[in-house]
Chains A and B, each alone.
Chain A
Amino acid sequence: GEDVEQSLFLSVREGDSSVINCTYTDSSSTYLYWYKQEPGAGLQLLTYIFSNMDMKQDQRLTVLLNKKDKHLSLRIADTQTGDSAIYFCAVPIYNFNKFYFGSGTKLNVKP
């Protein structure tokens, strides 16, 4: 099956940029997603990118996709303490019958 990997932790200072990385193995995925999970809560869809795009910007969020290297990243500009959460990348198989999630990157924002 699909293998989706993320680093487990990231710590940044308030106001800095955060970059969260994800690698995956299935090249047939047409959409790739980023979700945010706050403590004790469900997952909130943040953004997604279509596989024929290299970049997508949405306010403070920038998604970069390197399809050749199967590498996805999420950049958060001007990181705030409210951005502290766990961030998951999610990759569906080609027919969307199944989504694979990374193990999540815990972002800690220090004031």
Chain B
Amino acid sequence: NAGVMQNPRHLVRRRGQEARLRCSPMKGHSHVYWYRQLPEEGLKFMVYLQKENIIDESGMPKERFSAEFPKEGPSILRIQQVVRGDSAAYFCASSPGTASSYEQYFGPGTRLTVT
């Protein structure tokens, strides 16, 4: 049973380009969370999605950032017109989201560098 997959593991973008980060949850998990980790800091919640629905996006910047979790395929975190301050590690976590099991299982992260 494969764990949470994220790709790419490393992504370099120039200022103004778009970054697209992918997350495939664990088999059987229908809940996905995205987090951002700045260097030497903890994780900051960005968005929580279930299949085809954004449940909570209160941690997402209002502009340039969007997320989706389509019926088929991975969850995508999209950052348009990247700036240097977007450089960070982006982690997704998946959860079965059942009443007895809300553990989150994390992917290895995508390290975004904006030059």
Query: What is A's interface to B at a CB cutoff of 8 Å?
Result: 31, 33, 35, 41-45, 48, 88, 90, 92, 96-104
Contact = CB atoms under 8 A, between A and B. Distances in A.
Contacts, number: 51
A99 B104 contact: yes
A41 B109 CA distance: 7
A88 B42 contact: yes
Contacts of A41: 108-109
Interface stretch (B55-63, B68-76, B79-87): B55-63
A44 B91 CA distance: 12
A96 B56 CA distance: 10
A74 to B, nearest CB: 15
Nearest to B59: A98
A42 B94 CA distance: 13
23 contacts: A33-B103, A35-B106, A42-B4, A42-B91, A42-B106, A42-B108, A42-B109, A43-B43, A43-B91, A43-B106, A45-B103, A45-B105, A48-B103, A92-B102, A96-B95, A96-B97, A97-B55, A98-B59, A99-B104, A100-B45, A101-B42, A101-B43, A104-B42
